[in-house]
A and B are shown apart, each in its own frame.
Chain A
């Protein structure tokens, strides 16, 4: 059957149309606009596929290229042309890298559109982990929260720790505490396990992103930047030690980071960028 398994079909436009890809990790169930919100306004005449993040343990599973391989091979197996690759937040890293690899695969370079693109570093992982814990304050005891944040602090303090190692360490600490807390909160073993694995999956996603260099892809990207200071290029520019990030074109909007994908002006702009596809159809 033609339905992809590592991509989630957000828009289906028939089996032989082009595809626009979108990289995001929406299944944390966060209150942020996602590509499903953006899609209807794009008036695409082709399909829109969104990454399904694989279940991985950042401590034990191979990340890097092995992490990307299923996404790429399923696109290649579809025989369809990728018209553009989009990414949101840390997903922008995957967008930049996937676009380059797909360009090599299919011979033509897809457009790149990224929303508040961020390189993933230790603070990003820390921040995101903090959000995960924040969602669980109702089930974690004060001691458990202290223990987790203490672990995070200790890891951060380790000089030269890489984001992947950090993510793996956080997950290793979280797994037993999270499982116990969720069981205590009344979730059965299955759901508790599923939820814990989801955190691992998210940490793997971040750890993988941290190890990739999206800059070649971003160089020709259209960047959509929100008004949130702690997101995207705004944060990158304010972070000491990060070299200026080169992008093809940047469009700024008076919208918060979390609303970026559900802001009508953004949708209109992106629709325009996608509609103009020089050299896309030979």
Chain B
């Protein structure tokens, strides 16, 4: 093909066309632009500058290179002459304005329309001038800029002195062909590498559009860290660059990359005889390091040194060729060899400051404002100091995260210096800032005087027996009545054979009778097992048997399964009055069990969790203070089902402070009006519910929450709902906690000026949270891992399940006994915690990390979506797709808008392929959404998600438009979004007509080949969206 080209025109080599591909994929970016900027303390002569630039271009042939494009691809040529030109501009501000002007100049894209790939600017400032050269990477590299600096200075000086030199042209230099030996080296080196292991746990979700917009953070290494670097060069007999690179690798690993880790490293590929050539003669070599947990810093430094030396010996193979040797993960086109780059910049004093025609001058670093890599460290070191400049892609990392990362790099160097032979995993990577955020959040120590909730209730009952305790319908149980009923219950339990340490099941609805049963069980020295009368008989029977219940307390309309001693609940309205005996409360000790509660995970049978009085009272005391129930004259609402541990705080908080609780009907959980009426009638001051209930309230009676404390937990709180409730005037708390660590472990009050993701606050009293990496190491701020709860609320384990207990509970040296929640979370910079859904709901679909909860959160952002559940259908590694089940009861047709809604906010790989409206989600025994059942249903309903075979509805306007054109052009009425254009009578002419009509309607020009390659309405609509 190249022999068709005119003389002097060639197809560029692959490494050059790859550069241009980047310009094409991220249009209007100057991601490939390099700069040379010289600031002089005085003025540069514009004419002499222009002349010097012209001479530079005449001298270096490569600078005259231009690119064109024809249908077969790029064509490169070098015109014999080229007018270089010099732009002039001025600014009147300080260095910031100067830098802004220079950055804008450098970032301006170059194109393949035959225009020059070098341009020059003379920027006049208040106190001096800056000369700036912007060059495309295809004709230069970092080394070139140093050569061009010297060239420009000498040419300028000669021109200014009136002696323009006659220079021989330096022809463009072409590097040698890559050797087969090198290619073989890289094939072996990169065998089996998968780039999906490079992701950091602090990365943001990939953006829908790749911008490569960059930012940077600069950090001067502490004297301690710098001292370590200098010392380790000697101790480890490794160059400074290798020591710094090793620490970078450890830093990345501590943030989740690896253990099969790659780092890119730029190298100058000029051989000795070509050191002075200008052009693109650099390469990014891939350093692949297999990190072993037990390896020490000393070991890894040796490995890094060896890897680096080997890579240098085989640097003749361009990175793009190496890229072909690895398997591609995911659908993105970025960074499949490495995502993180390390640059060592040896500091040479005279390169920064020099003189131009007798005037003092210095180099200015001008970035192009883009970052091709997720993170690139430029470390420059002199004898006295070392500086890290971290450039990062803002689409993946936040500035706050990178600021912490450079500080952790510093801390890590210091730690490594003190423990060269310790396993890498044991090196602390927290920065002082991490400690300053997390340590105070965990400083929750507080002395709790009460031994049990029972003791607290007894004191209140003795002090004021006539005060109302539980309002139940039209009747009210006073503290005295409740005590009497509890004492009566205890006596009857004892008579039925219940002994200290036994378990007594409570099978009755919320009300004063249930409250009396709770306290009565404790007075008998037993622990209660709360059962939901609405649960199936088998489930109840299983719990009774597994817990070894001694007796069952039944209420109106409930009956115990056969074989259990039944004790009817106290007839509290008619029970004989008993004097409150505070000492009797000692029947329950702080270390005795208060209750055993059953939860079911996503799989397996429900498991019993025994909770001690010490844990329960700690949390109830904290909540009552925190949520303002202590000291409030208004009652608390008792709305939650008692088989959930959350219900106990609605009963117990007020009873520790002389207040009362109001029993609210079950129906109020799903009827906003009913709930609002009850809240108003009783002037309830505190109410807890799930987001589902709050959504109903917000929609039907939002104003009722004004001035009341409301608590939401158990499910993620959508940001929109939080804002609605806050706007309505509620004092809103979002809470979080696994049952295994007693009710809620964290709580956060939402502020009206909140924005973004809704956090779950920070740990409650005597509770500590840490976010663990897969090896159990506590992670610093902003890094996602598994949330673990330690502290007084943590249960001893699961009842009678030693295997599961060993799996889910552990001991941490710093935090003590803890429970692994199975939830993904991270610390925020304000010491609060962000949750990201379940560990097992993080999936990888064709290499792309997907947090299903994130997708659900976006869907919930649509005003008509009341609930969303997203599942993976099929094999996530192969034909898997995402199906979204949604509840849109108010406006069922809204389901058709969801694709567009999701597409606007999510990267393409994460947008669900199907949206299915349902009336209700299947639930597991413990009332969690049954995702497994949904996935099965999605697979059953639709079969494999391919076009043609199954009818597909036109899921959105654009698809419907395209489908309409199909129907019209093919004169068919039986087509759907999956219909194949050519299988239904289409041919090339009709395809052209289709493309034309689409262009007329949408303004987007499809190529004919688009129709050939994506011949269904759905696929064409998708392609149009990408082109839009």
Contact = CB atoms under 8 A, between A and B. Distances in A.
A244 interface: no
Contacts of A187: 992-993, 996
B286 to A, nearest CB: 14
Interface string A188-217: 101110110010000000000000000000
**Chain A residues touching B, majority SS:** loop
B1010 to A, nearest CB: 11
A30 B993 contact: no
Given A27-B1009, A194-B1007, A182 B324 contact: no
A1 B18 contact: yes
A138 to B, nearest CB: 7
Nearest to A5: B73
A42 B1016 CA distance: 23
A191 B988 contact: no
Contact of B988 (A77, A190, A198): A198
Interface in B964-989: 981-983, 985-989
Contact of A2 (B183, B187, B323, B989): B323
Interface stretch (A62-70, A118-126, A154-162): A62-70
A63 B369 CA distance: 47
Contacts of B4: 62, 66
B119 interface: no
Nearest to B328: A15
Interface string B1008-1028: 110111010000000000000
B324 A2 contact: yes
Interface string B981-1006: 11101111111110110010000010
Interface string A104-136: 000000000000000000000000000000011
Contact of B324 (A12, A79, A188): A79
A28 B1 contact: no
A191 B998 CA distance: 12
A59 interface: no
Nearest to B980: A31
Contacts of A192: 992
Interface string A25-56: 01111110000000000000000000000110
A185 B1005 CA distance: 18
A16 interface: yes
Contact of A138 (B183, B989, B991, B1015): B989
A198 B989 contact: no
B927 interface: no
Contacts of B996: 186-188, 191
Contacts of B999: 188
B993 A29 contact: no
A186 B323 CA distance: 46
A14 B328 contact: yes
Nearest to B192: A16
Nearest to A132: B988
**Chain B residues touching A, majority SS:** helix
A139 interface: yes
B696 interface: no
B113 interface: no
B982 A191 contact: no
Interface in A75-102: 77-79
B918 interface: no
A191 B993 CA distance: 8
A187 B1006 CA distance: 13
Contacts of A194: 992, 1007-1008
Contact of B1012 (A14, A26, A69): A26
Given A185-B993, A194-B1008, A15 B1 contact: no
Contacts of B495: none
B1 A66 contact: yes
B326 interface: yes
Contact of B1011 (A8, A29, A66): A29
Interface string B573-610: 00000000000000000000000000000000000000
B71 interface: yes
A15 B1008 contact: no
Contacts of A66: 1, 3-4
Nearest to A36: B1013
B988 A135 contact: yes
A29 B327 contact: no
B146 interface: no
A136 B991 CA distance: 12
Nearest to B25: A1
B325 interface: yes
B21 A28 contact: no
Contacts of B993: 185-187
A29 B21 contact: no
A16 B1011 contact: no
Contacts of A30: 982, 987
A195 B989 contact: yes
A7 to B, nearest CB: 13
A195 B991 CA distance: 9
Contacts of A138: 989
Contact of B21 (A1, A55, A62): A1
Contact of A29 (B73, B326, B981): B981
A1 B73 CA distance: 13
Nearest to B981: A29
Contacts of A5: 73
B316 to A, nearest CB: 15
Nearest to A62: B4
A55 B981 contact: no
Nearest to A52: B1009
B327 A14 contact: yes
A14 B320 CA distance: 15
A71 to B, nearest CB: 10
Contacts of B1: 66, 69-70
B32 to A, nearest CB: 14
A2 B320 CA distance: 8
A186 B997 CA distance: 10
A16 B989 contact: no
Nearest to A3: B333
B944 to A, nearest CB: 10
A195 B324 contact: no
B589 to A, nearest CB: 63
A186 B21 CA distance: 34
Contacts of A186: 993, 996
Contacts of A8: 1013
A272 to B, nearest CB: 21
Contacts of A28: 987-988
B982 A136 contact: no
Contact of B326 (A15, A54, A77, A185): A15
B72 interface: yes
A28 B187 CA distance: 40
Contacts of B187: 16
Contact of A15 (B3, B73, B325, B1012): B325
Nearest to B1008: A194
Contacts of A62: 4
Contact of B991 (A29, A31, A139, A185): A29
Given A1-B333, A2-B323, A138-B989, A191 B72 contact: no
A15 B992 contact: no
A125 B982 CA distance: 22
Given A29-B1012, A135-B989, 17 more contacts: A1-B323, A28-B988, A29-B986, A29-B988, A29-B990, A30-B982, A31-B983, A31-B987, A62-B4, A69-B1, A77-B14, A135-B988, A187-B996, A190-B1005, A191-B992, A191-B995, A194-B992
21 contacts: A1-B21, A1-B333, A2-B323, A2-B324, A8-B1013, A15-B324, A15-B327, A27-B1008, A27-B1009, A28-B988, A29-B987, A31-B987, A70-B1, A138-B989, A139-B989, A187-B992, A188-B996, A190-B1005, A192-B992, A198-B988, A198-B1008
Interface of B: 1, 3-4, 14, 18, 21, 71-73, 183, 187, 320, 323-328, 333, 981-983, 985-993, 995-996, 999, 1005, 1007-1009, 1011-1013, 1015
Cβ-closest 3 pairs across A and B: A14-B327, A135-B987, A29-B988
